[in-house]
Chain A
Amino acid sequence: MSRSAQSRLAEVWTRSPNLVGRKIGDEFVLVPLVSHGADLDSILNLSRVAAFVWERLDGASSGGEVVDAVLEHFEVERDRAEQDYLELVETLVELDAVKRAPKRA
């Protein structure tokens, strides 16, 4: 793994209060709470693994710890889990759905 990926996995993210997630049946839906008419295209559907990750973006767990939790719960290779985690966080950052948490002391 590259040094850049390693440092990104050390980062801690927290969910934005401007989005709410809900599991309905097999779907996990993420909805932005907007102050004007809702943009229906900005609603996100997360896969089971992505929903699992979303719920762990709690401002306390680092990317590496979240990936460890994914490996405990799902049958997936570490490289693949790390890559998927970083891609998901990148998407969530673009959507302003997560914020970087302050560094732990």
Chain B
Amino acid sequence: MSRAAGPARASLARLASALAFHQVMLADAHRTRAFARALARRVRPGKDVLDLGSGSGVWAVLAARLGARRVVAVEREAVLVPVIQALAREAGVADRIEVVRADARHVRLRRTFDLVVGELVGNEGFEEGLVPVFARARELFLREGGALVPEAVALVAAPARPPRRLGLTPPLLPAHSVAALTAHVPYNLHPSELRTLAPGRELLRVDLRRARSQDALPVARARFRVKDAKAVGGIAVWVRMRLGPGIELETRTRTHWLPTFLPLDPLPRGPGRLDVEIDWNTARRRWSVDFSGARGERRSAVYTPLFAWGVVRAALARGRRRRR
């Protein structure tokens, strides 16, 4: 009994966490409507559908309800397999859905499909492995003329005001040391906190119908004009997905996804131009801004979490030396 208690507790924690996560997604009506429209457009009776990273199984089950002949739902979380199966039974399509417990990045399947759907889009767009997973699925499992949902994912950016909640509110402690580190780390904002100061511009777009798994994201550049640079606290980045012809979903507002905020040092007062360069690849994430003010002021700065890492690494090394 005692030996089983540990794994059982771990599974319970995983189930609770997974269900809580999927509850938030299922409650996101904007997202759900957009994906459902895309599936309704793509799924035809008799077609075969592959759902990668199936989660609660909602897209696999919906595809079957739309008439798909065969649906394979791939999910790596063991605790979600019975959840998907129960949803399929409840919807009366259990006989057409096969649930495969596997990681979408490595899954092996013997059949091919007319449609691959996968909601592997994180707050930052690509951090859940969307590009390599879809590239592999396209190569191994997608039939000639088959479709993908989503079929393209883009990053959109705009200069934005600093979030009001930054820092300890109400002020409890001086926190400059923490603020100096967080100034180099991207963080997520609730959409209600996001106040942009210029129209969003698309930084980069990955066409999942063509992207190769090993492709790095290109360094993205965009230019913005602002009326008062002093108001700019950072660059907000969010995701735009093309789910199908005429069906786009943007995570700027109204969805459960959270925009990412890239903080900047204070800029001078007055109008000016911001030339922004962003390397979004996780292992070398950095962003830089060249500011040119209408009165001739210029500021340039580069930001990367590696600066924060350098500071913390030095402190760790000092601690080790003291202990010796």
Contacts and interface: CB of A to CB of B under 8 A. Distances in A.
Given A24-B184, A25-B180, A33 B286 contact: yes
A1 B166 CA distance: 54
A37 to B, nearest CB: 4
B106 interface: no
B180 A24 contact: yes
Size class of B's contact patch?
20 to 34
Interface in B251-304: 281, 283-284, 286, 302, 304
Contacts of A25: 176-177, 180, 311
Given A37-B283, A38-B283, A43 B177 contact: no
A27 B286 CA distance: 19
A103 interface: no
Contact of A40 (B177, B184, B307, B309): B309
A37 B309 CA distance: 15
A22 interface: yes
A38 B302 CA distance: 15
A16 interface: no
Contacts of B309: 40, 43
A36 B284 contact: yes
Contacts of B216: 36
Given A20-B302, A29-B306, A35-B284, 15 more contacts: A22-B307, A24-B184, A24-B310, A25-B176, A27-B311, A29-B307, A31-B310, A33-B286, A36-B284, A37-B283, A38-B284, A40-B309, A43-B310, A44-B310, A45-B313
The 6 closest A-B pairs by CB, nearest first: A29-B310, A37-B283, A20-B302, A31-B306, A45-B314, A27-B311
Interface of A: 20, 22, 24-25, 27, 29-31, 33-38, 40, 43-45
Interface of B: 176-177, 180-181, 183-184, 216, 281, 283-284, 286, 302, 304, 306-311, 313-314
